[in-house]
Amino acid sequence: RVQVVGSIASVPQEIKHDPALDNSSSIRTYLDPEHEHYDFELTKFLKGLELSRLKLTDSAKTLSGGQKTRLAITRALLAQPDILILDEPTNYLDAKGKKWVMEFISTYQKSIIIVSHDLSLLDHAIDKILFINAQTKKIEEYKGTYSQFLKLREEKVNLTKKQHKASAAHIQSMQEGLRMGPQSVKQRIQLQKRIARE
């Protein structure tokens, strides 16, 4: 059971239908519905997300899907929710735009959940990874970047393999001892119990 406390904003991979955007009279009213930001702040975000050609007075309804998605990301970043959920936030960006998003995310003071295949984003902006282990059905926590996670995960898998191999060899040794060696009934029962525990 997950309990969420605080405000949440999420941006899908692609904006197809956004009532808030469709009902806004301008880009400015969409980005800042509560009028909490100065124009220069909004323009700074638009520039960072490669939308500097747009004017705050323009209509958002006629924009392309990629532009609408970047506007939605801008709106979410400006709102600074307690939990920000982004699905492939660098999809429509070039290297400069990706760098801007990475830097913003890496300094975000609240919680961010990111779905991304962009390894450079994951490496730059993340300091902790929660990994769902399909075998154990448990969540494992790894501190560090995505590259560090891959290294630590590989080390853990290799260690587990070694432990299983050593355990299997130990069981085989006890089974051979059970077959070959002369033991009392009590010793055989104890050995069988040890094998079962292994």
pLDDT digits 0-9 by tens, 8-26: 999 998 887 888 998 999 9
Alpha carbons 166 and 163: distance in angstroms, whole number:
5
Cβ–Cβ < 8 Å for 89, 121? yes
pLDDT (tens digit per residue) in 93-134: 888 888 888 888 888 888 888 888 888 877 877 788 888 888
Number of residues in the chain: 198
Cα 28 to Cα 37: distance, rounded to the nearest angstrom = 10
Does the pTM exceed 0.85? Answer: no
